[in-house]
Amino acid sequence: MALARVAPACSAQAVSELVRLSGEGMQPVHMATLLETIADSAERRLASRAELVWTGPESYASHSRDTSVVVAELFRAATKSVLVSTFVLYQAETVFKPLADRVAEVPDLRVQLFVHVGRRDGDRRDDSEVLREYSSRLRTEWPGGVRPFLYYDPRSLSLNGYERATWHAKVVIIDDEIAFITSANFTEWAHQRNVEAGVVLRDASFARQLRQQFEGLVQSRAVLEVPGFRE
């Protein structure tokens, strides 16, 4: 009962084991030391899974790493799949150069890119024209010969302001093992100059869960592939 008050998540099996140890003569002070040691070890393991990523002025106590450095390292580490989601995308030839280089090294690497394709105020062109313009610009900027699967949310092109939506998630997922969640868009400014904060989570369960969110949108056709981009 005393343990439940300070550690409500403690399992029944753990409690039974402590009761058994007590019955064999282990003193409460020794049990407390054992629990503290286990808790410290668990905390260190959890801390090693999360890494602060920061762009901008550093504080005197900073233990962070720069966004552009982390993103390039993540791309270079990929062996199976890369998923990138961003709101604004500029200077693709610079920010995606490490990814294009990695695709050249690992031809089977599956790359998916989710972006916001919007329209300016007053732009009433057909969706296909807006998509063609976006695709043409990005094809010109893309640094490699093999282009990724490119997806957009069709709601972002709605002429009805009450239905229009913004694709705002900024995420990188590597091999279903590492997830990077950040405030930074995929632009040179965001990766090297703006003040941006993010976290790298080295947790395969979370990375898979996050990727499945995106895959579910693809399968349900809530997001669509930008026509002609990979051709």
Tokens 């043409």 correspond to: 136
pLDDT tens by residue, 110-149? 999 999 999 988 899 999 999 999 999 999 999 989 999 9
Beta-carbon contacts of 27 under 8 Å, excluding residues fewer than 6 positions away, are: none
Is 88 within 8 Å of 187 (Cβ atoms)?
yes
Sorted by where each begins, the domain ranges of the chain are 12-48, 50-225
pLDDT tens by residue, 24-36? 888 888 888 888 8
Class of domain 50-225: alpha beta
- What percentage of the chain reaches a pLDDT higher than 90? 63
pLDDT tens by residue, 29-60? 888 888 888 777 766 665 557 888 888 876 55
pLDDT tens by residue, 79-118? 999 999 999 999 999 999 999 999 999 999 999 999 999 9
Rounded Cα distance, 219 and 88, in Å = 24
One-character DSSP codes across 63-117 = --B-HHHHHHHHHHH-SSEEEEE-S-B--HHHHTHHHHHHHHH-TT-EEEEEE--
Per mean pLDDT, which range of 26-30, 62-66, 159-163, 190-194 is the poorest? 62-66
Amino acid at 135: S
